[in-house]
Structure 1
Amino acid sequence: MIKILILFGTRPEAIKMAPLVEEFKKRKDKFDVKVCVTGQHREMLDQVLDFFDIVPDFDMDLMKPNQNLYNLTAEILTGLKPILESYRPEFVFVHGDTTTTMAGSIASFYAGAKVCHVEAGLRTFDKLSPFPEEVNRQITGRIADYHFAPTSTSKENLLKENVDESKIIVTGNTVIDALLQSVEKVSKKPTLFAEELSKELGEKRVVLITGHRRENHGAGFERICQAIKKLATVKPEVVFIYPVHLNPKVLEPVNKNLSGVENVMLIEPLAYENFIWLMNRSTVILTDSGGVQEEAPSLGKPVLVLRDTTERPEAIEAGTVILVGTDVDLIVNHTMELLENEDKLIEMSNRHNPYGDGQACRKIADFISNSR
């Protein structure tokens, strides 16, 4: 039996790793699979675990009030030591660019496990944008034994860093696997949230907004809010829905600028299944999330990216997203064009998603099966 530990700590990681957990667990004759969560996020992580019916074998439960990168990194490193020493996995799977990913890859290297990096090779080549994710993914890339790259562009980034080509496998992104499974599940059995909001919205168009990145804290969020307020004023027939991140650096400017605007709905962060439903119900999406840049095109939803850089240039090249940063005029002008120019909206909605066909997890599991 091949012993595998799948490690993650945040909601986005959980979403993207859930179908991989399922894929490995289907192959019981080949793999002994255990799941470890650091709890870098807590409530939002637990929602995803519940939705995908995942019960962690190890839960480090590290989230604390006023958590910082110093403490979190140290606690992940030291907390993983007994887990790795007792289970002794041959392969440890980490995902993307979180502190859990970076510290987990170091701890797994110390323990002598082979590190498998899912969503490998994304780069902006600017270590401060996104912060600290760009450095996290580069450190993980130096440690990883196997690199599961979502696209050929990601593979090229790794080759430029002298990664052995035989260790790079282009798979597509596991988030598409998760999305396609989830949309089917949600459509068969809508949640109470979906049923009630659907009645409230009627036939109105929806612009969905998400935002939480550190690099936008402060002036960036002030500008984003200004743009949303301006859009809401000139498009009173459109509903702008913003599930607001719980970080006070997001909550404060959003509530200050947008509470009381009649056609802006500020709601609490959504459970994954409700967010999937709302993405599918939207006309346009404004986001600084990496995952949404990958998911929304599979639902035919145009995305305006509220960041100055993106480690997902394939989406820009494919025309499924437009980079607008936090510039008020760019946000307003591009959103207005999509809302008022039906041809532009249809053209962008029909663009091919460069992030795969929902078979990434099967390809990853096949590779590991054949590596022995």
Structure 2
Amino acid sequence: MSGRQRIAIVVGTRPEAVKLAPVVRELQRTRWAEPTVLTTGQHGTVVRNTLACFGLRPEAELAPPANARGPAPVAELTAGLLSSLGSRLRATDVHAVLVQGDTSSALAGAMAAFFARIPVVHVEAGLRSGDARSPFPEEAHRRMIAELSDLHLAPTRAARRNLRAQGVAADRIVVTGNTVIDAVVAASRNPCHRTVPELREIEQDSAPLVVVTAHRRENWGEPIRRVGRAVAALSRQYPDVTFVVAAHMNPSVRTAIEESLRDRPNVRLPGPIPYDAFARLLSRSVLAITDSGGIQEEAAAFGLPVLVTRDNTERTEGVDSGLARLVGTDETEIVAAAEKEFAREGVLDVRKPDLSFPRPNPYGDGRAARRCAAACGWLLGLAPRPSDLTDQET
């Protein structure tokens, strides 16, 4: 590995593992990079298992801040991560640090690298909702990370415009596409080898599938309960449809959505789902109901319509293309929007399991990770600048 540039990739949560894994794989293929995955321990085993889906393992895993009362408050979590990441980066010879998205680990990683005078590369830069407090705290995180970054890897041209509006220099931005498209397509092709009996039953079921998730901090409590009640109503109205509720790791979040669904015969509650199995479920589904930003993007890889249980979204490309629809958390709105999707010709016909929209994917062409790796080489003076993804390529 002599002469290679050491690049630290900070991974705190499962979505970060998903979106950064393809970039790590591409960096491994270069002649100039020595990528090292540094996990913060926030999602523990889930992150390790997700990385393993892509044949990766962390070089080091930090211990997250302990909190006997449950999940750490954002300020406490960020402070602890900043301290541990700062110590780790000071003890190693690192030439660049990659962070992804808008989590506390991404912000702490960017800050730690900045304080250590190490160049910061921000993957999935430039997403904006326009409201600094929604989603909370992610919108504020991504704005702050932009101020600390040396290279901004924007997933779309709209993200690039947002960065330019914030004052980021044009020559510090590369439009790459979103790495989640690379990840979800690759994972959906993995052979089914997970030992979760209920997942095997779901994969063998020929009924139309609807995937449901809920986890956003601003939806905790009653909003998530409303989503659960809406899904319960839909399960009664459509007994031949299977609703798969992919649980969040946080037990209180999980309980809130599941409490209305436990006795429904066509609702499956398998708990947290391994990423490759989840990708296969998405590829077979007819609808997703979610507050997840990542799933809005992942669904687009399969032309899957999404009902977004939020009042706004920074993934505006999906809404503009017609793949995603904002429905909030009102039960009546969710049910009415799902009824409209189910009414489309052929959606609930089990003989047509591969329905897709005849639209280009607004989030990229599946080669985003390759552009991200090349852009890192360009930042370090070791590779030419990659061409931006253009509108015509999406």
For this structure pair, what is the TM-score category when the shorter chain's length is used for normalisation?
over 0.9
Distance (Å, rounded) in 1 between the aligned partners of 2:320 and 2:337: 17
For residues 346 and 243 of structure 2, what CA distance do their matches in structure 1 show? 22
Is the counterpart of residue 243 in structure 1 residue 246 in structure 2? Answer: yes
Among all aligned residue pairs of Structure 1 and Structure 2, give the percentage whose two residues are the same amino acid: 38
2:117 maps to 1:109: no
- Which aligned pairs between 1:1-372 and structure 2 lie closer than 5 A? 1-27=4-30, 29-62=31-64, 64-65=66-67, 66=70, 67-186=72-191, 189=192, 191-193=194-196, 195-199=200-204, 201=205, 203-342=206-345, 349-371=357-379, 372=381
Aligned to 1:342, what secondary structure does the other structure show? coil
C-alpha distance in 1 between matches for 2:373 and 2:330: 42
Shifted more, 336-345 versus 64-73: the winner is: 336-345
Instruction: State how many pairs are aligned.
Output: 367
The superposition leaves residues 218-274 of structure 1 with CA deviations (integer Å, 9 ceiling, x where unpaired) of: 221122122111111111111111022232332232232111122211220101111
Q: Which runs of 5+ in 1 are unaligned?
A: none
**Equivalent AA in structure 1 for residue 6 of structure 2:** K
| 3-state SS in 2 of match to 1:258 | coil
AA in 1 matched with 2:60: F
Q: Matches of 1:227 and 1:166 in 2, distance apart?
A: 47
Following TM superposition, by how much is the alpha carbon of 1:196 offset from its aligned partner in structure 2, in angstroms? 3.2
Distance change in 2, residues 1:300/1:191 (3 Å)? farther
Shift of 1:138: 0.7
- Offset of residue 338 of structure 1: 1.4
Shift of 1:86: 2.1
Partner amino acid, structure 1, of 2:257: V
- SS in structure 2 of the partner of residue 300 of structure 1: coil
- Counterpart code for 1:15: V
CA–CA distance in 1 between the matches of 2:332 and 2:207?
A: 24
Quickly say closer, same or farther: Cα 1:260–1:103, change in 2 above 3 A: same
Query: Partners in 1 of 2:99 and 2:29 — Cα distance?
Result: 19
Over 3 Å counting, the alpha-carbon distance change for 1:61 and 1:207 in structure 2 is same
Q: What's the CA shift for 1:369?
A: 2.1
TM-score normalised to the size of structure 1? Answer: 0.94
- Residue type of the alignment partner of 2:374: D
Shift of 1:332: 0.8
Kindly provide the amino acid, as one letter, of the partner of residue 230 in structure 2.
A
- For residues 240 and 131 of structure 1, what CA distance do their matches in structure 2 show? 28
What do residues 65-108 of structure 1 show as CA deviations (whole Å, max 9, x unaligned)? 52222222111111122321222312110000000001111110
User: What TM-score, normalized to structure 2?
Assistant: 0.89
Q: Report the CA distance between 1:298 and its aligned residue.
A: 0.8
Moved more, 37-46 or 111-120: 37-46
Instruction: Return closer, same or farther for 1:4/1:167 CA change in 2, 3 Å cut-off.
Output: same
| 1:177-211 residue CA offsets vs partner (Å, 9 max, x unmatched) | 1122212223xx55454543233x2x211111011
Query: Once the two structures are superposed, what CA deviation does each residue of 1:271-299 show, in whole Å capped at 9, x if it has no partner?
Result: 11111111112111101111110011111
Q: CA deviation at 1:50?
A: 2.0
Cα distance change on mapping 1:255 and 1:294 into 2, 3 Å: closer
Residues 192, 251 of structure 1: alpha-carbon distance in 2 compared, 3 angstrom cutoff: closer
Where does the alignment leave 5 or more consecutive residues of structure 2 unmatched?
349-353, 382-394
CA distance in 1, matches of 2:308, 2:259: 22
Residue identity opposite 1:37 in structure 2: T
